[in-house]
Amino acid sequence: MGEQVQIRNLAPDLGSLVLRFRGSDTLLFAVDTESGAVRYEDRRSGLTWIKIPGKSMLLDSRLGEPLANDCML
């Protein structure tokens, strides 16, 4: 999708991370999932970071659309 996403300051307990996207840093918190995917959210901004085997993606949960897909860590 041509976007750049940076993960910064991942907490040692994996409970939160700082995500840099479009020049802004956003603090996201870990959310439990039943699927086993790693998921972080900031409900205020609507940003959701999901990591599954092989790729990661950034979603706008308010609009229900991807912002960045096939992200590699």
More confident residue, 27 or 11: 27
The length of the chain is 73
Rounded Cα gap, residues 18 and 69, in angstroms: 18
Mean pLDDT of 28-40: 91
The band of 26, judged by pLDDT with boundaries at 50, 70 and 90, is very high
- pTM of the predicted structure, to 2 decimals: 0.86
**Residue 59 binned pLDDT confidence (cut-offs 50, 70, 90):** very high
pLDDT at 73 over 80: no
